[in-house]
Structure 1
Amino acid sequence: MANFAPFSPIFIFQLLGTIFCATVYLKKQYGENDLYIESWGKTNCSLNGIDIASLGIGRPCEEWPDLATIFCDGKILEAVNYWGERTLFMRDSKHFVDRPLLKDAKKVVEEFKTIFEVTEWNKFMVSEMSEAQVDKLAKFVKQNFGMADEALIEHVPEDWVESPSNFKKIKDKKLGKWATELNKMWKEMSKKMPKDMDKNGNQRHSLIYLSNPFFVSGGRFREFRYWDSYWMARGLIASGMTKSVKHMCQNFAEMINRFGFVPAGGRIYYNKRSQPPFLTFLVYDYFAATGDTEFLKEIMPTLEKELNFWQTNRSIQTKVNGKTKTFYQYRADTKLPRSEAFRQDVELVKDIADPMEKAKIWHEIASASESGWDFSSRWIRKDESDKENPWKLKNLMTTKIVPVDLNALICGSFEKMAHLYLQIGNKDKSREYHAKYQVFLADFESLFYKKEHDIWYDFNLKSGALNEAYYGSSTVPLFTRCYDTFDFGTAQRMFDRMEQLDKDNKLISHPFGVPASMIDSSQQWDFPNIMPPSQHMLIEGLRRSKDKKMEDKALEFAQKWVSANFKLYQSKQNCGRKMWEKITANGGKPGKGGEYNVQMHFGWTIGILLDFLVTFGTKLKLDDADGVNCEQKQMEPEPVIFPNELSDFRSQRLTEAQKNVEEINKSQKYWKAGIYEPLAMLTKEEFKKLLGVPMEKKIGPKNLQLKSVDDHHITQRDAKDLPDEFDVRQKWPECAGIISTIAQQGICGSCWAVASASTLSDRICIARLKKGKKSDKNDPKSHVSAQFTLEFSERPPIYGGCKGSLPNLAWNLYRRQVVSGTNYEMYDGCRPYTVGGFPAKPNRLDVHTKDEKSWKTKRPTCKKECVKKWIKTQYANQAIPEESFYKEMQSMPRVTETVLWEKKNWENEMMREIMANGSITAIYELYKDFSYLMENDKSQIYMHSTDESEGGHAVKIIGWGQDKIGNEFVKYWLIVNSWGKEWGMDGMFKIRRGVDECKIESWQITFGTPVV
């Protein structure tokens, strides 16, 4: 590991420990002065202020009480998730709960209680841990937890052979060789339980014990996954590995006999939810491949037990044509954050006050996870008022949906149970299940089938109607045979509907396959991703339809998807030689979206490909196209040694940053990347908090009185009258001290407020200068308050304050009132910049309110947010006089004309405005490489070298110019940032001009005219 200069652990803790409870922040600032710290009480920030026990919700993992305290809920899980990414290099929540214990669970829990002096769990506040305690937490994890990736024992399946006989059906030589390579991957995915586990429950793992070898899905999924296993089994059968498939069936039977159902995966934290019930289909396919009637007799009662679970625990009654009928839905038995996604689940509901409302959302999340479609717009109530981001996970309504695919699975299971019972000679049971199938088939048709569209849809309990949108689930009834199989036109009519959808909005004509949906929601089970299970069920449904034309379509789709995966596998870049969890329909690259990165070496993709290669082997062929060009970042291997203290953490982060710097410098010539340590130390979530401009363009109220380009009746003019270089500081040197002020916004998405306040401060100074008045940079009244802007600007839904906003809302505020603040180096003026907590809904100030009493009722409280030095300087131990605040606000100039430009190629007019009146506010899209733009070389000009966007950022433009880089003259904007003087060119940077780099010339330009 590289050596870096020593840095104070206390400094690093202060740098990183910005996400504290307000009580900690206030105590640090004021001590125990009750004048400024009102009675807040202690809040457990690690769970957003709620105590799970107080919700009256049953706890998970009851069968493993000692392990539950570590892996399922409790302070250890909370502490590691709250502090883990900083001190433990934790990849994600799942990585921690997959790590094995090095001691018995009871000893680990007792050791935690001893180290942190825990006498009562509910009194231990994770978020108030000191830097010394965080160091102890790191040591505790290091001493008590092993390697997640090394917990299982490697295993070569007994029935694996290098050249399965079925592969002889594959005529294309390249595909035949590829099948052999894919077949080798079964050895990598086959595992056995650790030696220190047994069926009596003696274990130091979150794993659920299995008697037989099993297959992990791959990537972050270091355990069996229920419905993934079905498609892996299809591939295993293609590889002739029927004994491995039998072990799979036996393992699932163990789960059912133990829990009543098959958990979603082989971990104890999955014990409150299942996944789509494919075991009956799995046994059916195993029997079709082997004719093993003895095993069939043995497992049939277990298959019934699983179906009974769904009938008892996941059924729901609804009226169809006036008759009450029974159907099935996903409805997990938990209302707690998922252990494997603990941080995401807690973060999602942080703005919701009611604990029971949080629990409802967690229930919907777990239920969506049970569906296997985690997540998709299928389960989300669309927010019609939000045009940019209408598919929010907060609006999940999984339990209000009756899903067509689950009910088609139950329907198909009834039919297959009838067939399997007949094979073992139990005619009574066969007739019983055939009758169930016939009844349910009719019910199914009456609820889910849209005759006018000739396709099936989900049913929405809330609206009482079908959700008439295409999803891959719409084709599942064709796969499960939950339709009148004597109607040979069913598949053709369904396909006709898909062709019609394709004409309206591309669906089946994508070059690499059929996407999971036609909605781009940013979730993984939506466009543009092709999800292998949906692809397989569509193709198999068409193939078995007994319609020659549809059988040809099945071959066409199989050819398309197999070719896409082969080309990706052949890529010479990072995505090559691997099998991916999902690919994109429009690009043929590894999929995207969802709550985790796309996973590789994925079992269901391998299984389905092998199934297709054997099934269509005589007809599939490859063209000579090259591999897909892609740049896919590899998952970092689990570190052999985890950081012990914060100094170790620092060293790891800087080593990682150095690798990124080297990659950036190789990729472009315009600027030289370097490491700015305060940014390198931030976690990804913390860095995103710096970016205070939402990617949605329209988030604010519609009544903003800002003038546009059209309102000004101006057109883009040429640049003949414009100089090659210009700097506001040089034209108005008397204002240079104010213009050059460099803010440090802190871990807060306040850039929109800071940039706007700074721009207005410059323009006030320049406007005063034009009238012969000079401004003193040390006078608070020379600086517009960014804090005031942050607190009092109108807040759009879910945004505002440190959560981010747009500068146009700040300039809309400046039309009404302005207040002085600070130049970021002194604490003067009525609203110095002190990033802290802000009121959830700040009251709008009224400048016409003059009486003291009315003022107090309208203003948001400031006592908890201001800094000690300012209070002592201004008022000593007196109460804060509201009248002085009001008078200062009245004395500051307001803006009579506020302007918003959102137009491409407006470079020349931006330059003219800067020349005439001073700085302007701009926002741009910030890419990942921007955090490394810190080399203090004024000849460097930024251009993004990666397509990995982090969010939006607001800055102040103060001039322009051009530099020669190599043999090329490159134009640039001169910009003031808000990340402190140590970053970039003493807090500033240059970015390419005239090419709309990062949308800086087209996204949003704002400014105004102050009246002085």
Structure 2
Amino acid sequence: MSRAPGGANKGTCRSTGEGPVKVLTTVNARIRGWRAARWLLAPASAVLLAGCAHPQSAPQPREPHSPSEQLAELYPRLALSGLFEDGKALADAVPRAEPARILEAYRAARPLDEAGLERFFEAHFRMPRPAPLRQPAPGLPLIEHIEALWPILTRRSPAVPAHGSLLALPNPYLVPGGRFQEIYYWDSYFTMLGFGDAQRPLKRAMVDNFAHLLRTFGRIPNGNRTYYLSRSQPPFFFKMVELTNQEAPAKAFAAYLPELKAEHRFWMAGAEGLAPGSASARVVRMENGALLNRYWDDRDSPRDESYAADVATAKASRREPSQVYRSLRAGAESGWDFSSRWFADGRSLPTIRTVEIVPPDLNSLLFGLEHAIADGCRELRDEACTSAFERRARMRRAAMQRYLWNERTGLFDDYQWREGRLLGNVTAAALYPLFFQVADTAQAARTAATVEAELLKPGGLVTSNRTTGEQWDAPNGWAPLQWIAVSGLRHYGHDELARTIAARWLDTVSGAYGNTGKLLEKYDVITRRPGGGGEYPLQDGFGWTNGVTVALARLYPELLETPASPAEGELRGTAR
């Protein structure tokens, strides 16, 4: 969809208040979503855009149900059966008929033994066809290899199979790769950093896809799957919008202002009338009355794509299962699924408590979003809106300074809002306040010193200083966090440290490429090899590694003057 900045959208959506939200709370993990989803979020999305009508908006359809909601007791039986090595395969399977009819057939056929269940599944579902496994020609220099990957990772889904979990999108988009064959929210920003002139139409197409999701559902889901609709991911949409007009970002924000405001309302829903020291959905009212945010999910059942793993985690926790499921889902919304920063004991997944934590990364993003909305409103000469969102940003920054700065560690930290204390986490999330310029000069200097002492490793920046076996802990490093760190440190003049992180990361990526012929989802930055840990095998492709590699090479072209390239015939498979 083409847009004229400041044109057709001018004057649209003057409201700055929050709309109501209904939060799904239930007691039965197996049938909660199936019975409740029809009223869950449709009222919220209807209110969300009231007074913010987009000139091309269409009436919003009823929100589609996820597979576990549609299939009731059949879904847990399949998910826990052991038939699926990767639970995502079940979540992505396409019913051959209406789910209600399949459910009737299952109830009529019971009891089924395991062999019978497998035959039933094969008769009533089909697995999606995987995308052709292609790689660019061997022997290309690293950046040329990435350029060749863009069309390989591009997908189109203007129409989707009936009854399946995939959500249609009007425009082409890039997927990360590997098992991730749908668009993912926060991945996309870091992927787009690597786009050049040839990918300019794809950049706009992806931004418009996210705008479409905001208009349709009132939020950008984790990815374009029905089972992701109950949660979002770190809100980088405004940063993607900025990439469409880097010379005049305010014009870009003005062009997408209704969608930016809709996303802000999604994150702030539930704030109205919230008492100090309490929380609602993604909003926490601090003890002094200030508003900050947390990660959340509107459902409290096992994730469709990780059902068996979540059930096992809940059993190991010996806590109320719904509490564990909610925090697992909230951890997935954070993008850090999973990390010691969410664990009560700092070590083990069954102690996860994501919803009890106010994190610096999310609040830095929302500070940036509030400034972006203010800039867009200023471009449209809406003084009331400009003033309102500038005030929101000032108040958020003041609250972050008061509650999230840890003087002892010299970092912005995760805050346990129920207990009223900082957690002492040393993670790369502390660099978000530098990326979005929340930190003052002294805080930035303390952060740089702590990061250099605790997180800088031979292969780049490690995610945390704890080793737990989870993929968002040591020894792994991730491309998006390298970009956040390098850019944030450069904002405050810590250029030498920024360049060191970039150099070590590029050396890690190019070295692994030289050995495997691939770009990977994550890397072990301590021993400088492919990364590991987490719920699934290491994936290759890989969208955000590609984008950040190109972006860092543009900043520091001398670092890849002699890029590593694999010798033809010597490629090795991705390490697992």
> Relative to 1, partners in 2 of residues 1:242 and 1:431: Cα closer, same or farther, differing over 3 Å?
farther
Paired with 1:239 and 1:592, the residues of 2 have a C-alpha distance of: 34
Map 1:438-477 → 2, pairs under 5 A: 438-451=394-407, 453-477=409-433
Given the alignment of the two structures, is residue 570 of structure 1 paired with residue 514 of structure 2, yes or no? yes
Paired with 2:64 and 2:213, the residues of 1 have a C-alpha distance of: 20
* Aligned with 1:497 (options 433, 450, 457): 450
- CA drift of 1:562 comes to 0.9
Q: Which runs of 5+ in 1 are unaligned?
A: 1-49, 118-127, 155-161, 163-173, 198-202, 383-389, 636-1012
> Relative to 1, partners in 2 of residues 1:153 and 1:196: Cα closer, same or farther, differing over 3 Å?
farther
Paired with 1:250 and 1:56, the residues of 2 have a C-alpha distance of: 29
Given the alignment of the two structures, is residue 52 of structure 1 paired with residue 52 of structure 2, yes or no? no
* Aligned with 1:193 (options 154, 157, 165): 157
Given the alignment of the two structures, is residue 552 of structure 1 paired with residue 511 of structure 2, yes or no? no
Partner of 2:555: 615
- CA drift of 1:441 comes to 1.6
**TM-score for the superposition, normalised by structure 2:** 0.81
Partner of 1:181: 145
Tell me, what secondary structure is at the counterpart of 2:415?
strand
- CA drift of 1:57 comes to 9.5
Partner of 2:283: 315
Map 1:238-249 → 2, pairs under 5 A: 238=196, 240-249=198-207
Counterpart code for 2:73: K
Partner of 2:467: 520
Paired with 2:471 and 2:88, the residues of 1 have a C-alpha distance of: 18
Q: Which protein is bigger by CA-based radius of gyration?
A: 1
**TM-score for the superposition, normalised by structure 1:** 0.47
Map 1:693-772 → 2, pairs under 5 A: none
> Relative to 1, partners in 2 of residues 1:378 and 1:307: Cα closer, same or farther, differing over 3 Å?
same
Partner deviation per Cα, 1:39-90 (whole Å, 9 max, x = no partner): xxxxxxxxxxx953687996457787986455665222122223242xxxx3
Counterpart code for 2:435: F
Tell me, what secondary structure is at the counterpart of 2:296?
coil
8 Å contact from structure 2 (residues 300, 323) kept in 1: yes
* Aligned with 1:260 (options 218, 223, 226): 218
8 Å contact from structure 2 (residues 517, 572) kept in 1: no
* Aligned with 1:420 (options 368, 376, 382): 376
Map 1:335-484 → 2, pairs under 5 A: 335-350=300-315, 357-382=320-345, 391-451=347-407, 453-484=409-440
* Aligned with 2:525 (options 585, 596, 608): 585
Tell me, what secondary structure is at the counterpart of 1:316?
strand
- CA drift of 1:93 comes to 1.0
Paired with 2:528 and 2:241, the residues of 1 have a C-alpha distance of: 33
- CA drift of 1:337 comes to 0.5
- CA drift of 1:529 comes to 0.3
Partner deviation per Cα, 1:199-240 (whole Å, 9 max, x = no partner): xxxx2320112111122121111211111111112122x454
* Aligned with 2:184 (options 222, 225, 246): 225
Counterpart code for 2:102: V
More relative contact order, 1 or 2 (CA 8 Å, 6+ apart): 2
8 Å contact from structure 1 (residues 284, 420) kept in 2: no
Length, aligned pairs only: 513
Partner deviation per Cα, 1:358-397 (whole Å, 9 max, x = no partner): 1111111111111111110000011xxxxxxx62222111
Partner of 2:99: 105
Partner deviation per Cα, 1:580-636 (whole Å, 9 max, x = no partner): 110001122111111111111121111111111223225544488999x9986678x
Tell me, what secondary structure is at the counterpart of 2:533?
coil
8 Å contact from structure 2 (residues 79, 308) kept in 1: yes
8 Å contact from structure 1 (residues 260, 309) kept in 2: yes
8 Å contact from structure 2 (residues 317, 351) kept in 1: no
Partner of 2:536: 596
8 Å contact from structure 1 (residues 460, 467) kept in 2: yes
Counterpart code for 1:491: A
Partner of 1:300: 257
Paired with 1:196 and 1:400, the residues of 2 have a C-alpha distance of: 37
8 Å contact from structure 1 (residues 149, 222) kept in 2: no
What is the root-mean-square deviation of aligned Cα atoms in Å? 3.2
Tell me, what secondary structure is at the counterpart of 2:204?
helix
8 Å contact from structure 1 (residues 225, 264) kept in 2: yes
8 Å contact from structure 1 (residues 72, 269) kept in 2: no
Counterpart code for 1:560: R
Counterpart code for 2:74: I
Paired with 1:113 and 1:64, the residues of 2 have a C-alpha distance of: 27
8 Å contact from structure 2 (residues 250, 372) kept in 1: no
- CA drift of 1:565 comes to 0.4
8 Å contact from structure 2 (residues 397, 438) kept in 1: yes
> Relative to 1, partners in 2 of residues 1:289 and 1:553: Cα closer, same or farther, differing over 3 Å?
same
Identity %: 25
Counterpart code for 1:363: R
8 Å contact from structure 2 (residues 32, 301) kept in 1: no
Partner deviation per Cα, 1:698-753 (whole Å, 9 max, x = no partner): xxxxxxxxxxxxxxxxxxxxxxxxxxxxxxxxxxxxxxxxxxxxxxxxxxxxxxxx
Paired with 1:330 and 1:67, the residues of 2 have a C-alpha distance of: 22
Q: Which runs of 5+ in 2 are unaligned?
A: 1-26, 40-60, 270-280
Paired with 2:329 and 2:123, the residues of 1 have a C-alpha distance of: 32
Given the alignment of the two structures, is residue 235 of structure 1 paired with residue 194 of structure 2, yes or no? yes
Paired with 1:470 and 1:225, the residues of 2 have a C-alpha distance of: 27
- CA drift of 1:242 comes to 2.4
- CA drift of 1:286 comes to 2.0
Counterpart code for 2:78: V
- CA drift of 1:423 comes to 3.8
Paired with 2:76 and 2:437, the residues of 1 have a C-alpha distance of: 46
Tell me, what secondary structure is at the counterpart of 2:432?
helix
Tell me, what secondary structure is at the counterpart of 2:284?
strand
Counterpart code for 1:310: W
Given the alignment of the two structures, is residue 78 of structure 1 paired with residue 37 of structure 2, yes or no? no
> Relative to 1, partners in 2 of residues 1:283 and 1:401: Cα closer, same or farther, differing over 3 Å?
same
8 Å contact from structure 1 (residues 528, 586) kept in 2: yes
8 Å contact from structure 1 (residues 264, 270) kept in 2: yes
- CA drift of 1:543 comes to 2.2
Paired with 1:66 and 1:284, the residues of 2 have a C-alpha distance of: 31
Tell me, what secondary structure is at the counterpart of 2:292?
strand
Counterpart code for 1:100: V
- CA drift of 1:186 comes to 1.2
Tell me, what secondary structure is at the counterpart of 1:83?
coil
Partner of 2:86: 92
> Relative to 1, partners in 2 of residues 1:58 and 1:528: Cα closer, same or farther, differing over 3 Å?
farther
- CA drift of 1:353 comes to 7.1
Paired with 1:207 and 1:249, the residues of 2 have a C-alpha distance of: 19
Partner of 2:18: none
- CA drift of 1:304 comes to 0.6
Paired with 2:308 and 2:166, the residues of 1 have a C-alpha distance of: 21
> Relative to 1, partners in 2 of residues 1:129 and 1:241: Cα closer, same or farther, differing over 3 Å?
same
Partner deviation per Cα, 1:373-428 (whole Å, 9 max, x = no partner): 1110000011xxxxxxx622221111111111111111121222223333444444
